[in-house]
Structure 1
Amino acid sequence: MDVATSEKPTGVVWMGTRYEILLRAATTNGAMGMFQSEDQPGFGPPMHVHHDAEETFYILSGAVDFARGDERLTVRAGGAVHIPRGTPHTFRVRDEGSARMLTILTPGGFEGFFAEVAAAGFEMPRDLAAMQPISEKYRLEIVGPPLSAT
């Protein structure tokens, strides 16, 4: 039996968040990509859609507010949320402290996005237009602003 392992996790720092890439699409025959991140209070991406991937977040520590379509929910350590492909979503780390998350995208491949935008020195929202070619490559579409504090 083949076992996918993360013998050498690689780290990428982008916008103050370190992404530890645990499994790549190349390791899992394209089935998934998995990474761990530690995000600071108030951090969250703009509302976006993954057109080719499902995304699942498992909260290792802290608390995170999510928007999934029109739904709003708070997920704390030990909880998980699944985002079906094509669903507008975003998250925001609650102000009470940082959050560590394990994120799985199926199929894999999106994990390469972070290395590309970090290498280019892009930041959001400043460089959204310049990031467009990379976003298109990974079938990522920005569809709205970040989630506001509740």
Structure 2
Amino acid sequence: HSHPRAEVFRVVRGIYRFRCGDEEFDAPPGTVVVLPPHVRHSWRNIGDEPGQMFAIVTPGGFEQLFLEIEASGAEMPDEIALIEDRLGIINDETLALNR
């Protein structure tokens, strides 16, 4: 996905595989990753234990996505895609739904 905000992650537990643009790398605990705005990126825990990260998104407001998903009861990708559209988030997974 991509969006107009920068993100900073600090891996606390687990090993995460990040993709930022064309670059892919693994991040063990203690790693700090900075993802710039407007660049497609993703991450997933590839370790055997549950993962945990601390995230900062700037400028603020990205939390609105999670608040709106909860308030609306949206569960299906097409419902979430409407909220993402409104907030300027481009999500490759929901784009595949021909929204």
TM-score when normalising by structure 2 = 0.83
DSSP-derived class of the 2:79 partner: coil
1:137 pairs with one of 78, 82, 86: 86
The alignment status of 1:121 with 2:70, answered yes or no, reads no
| 2:2 is the counterpart of 1:49 | yes
Q: SS of 1:98's equivalent? A: coil
* Structure having the larger proportion of residues in helix: 2
Q: How does 1:1-150 map to 2 (within 5 A)?
A: 48-50=1-3, 52-123=4-75, 127-144=76-93
**Greater strand share, 1 or 2?**
1
Paired residue secondary structure (1:78):
coil
Aligned-partner Cα distance in 1 for 2:13–2:84: 28
The 3-state SS of whatever aligns with 1:115 is: helix
1:22-50 Cα deviation digits (max 9, x unpaired)? xxxxxxxxxxxxxxxxxxxxxxxxxx001
Q: What do the CA deviations read for 1:68-127 (whole angstroms, capped 9, x no partner)?
A: 11111111110011111010011111141111111111100001211221333334xxx2
SS of residue matched to 1:132: helix
Q: How many pairs does the alignment contain? A: 94
Q: Which runs of 5+ in 2 are unaligned?
A: 95-99
- 87 and 54 in structure 1: CA distance in 2 versus 1, 3 angstrom threshold: same
TM-score normalised to the size of structure 1? 0.57
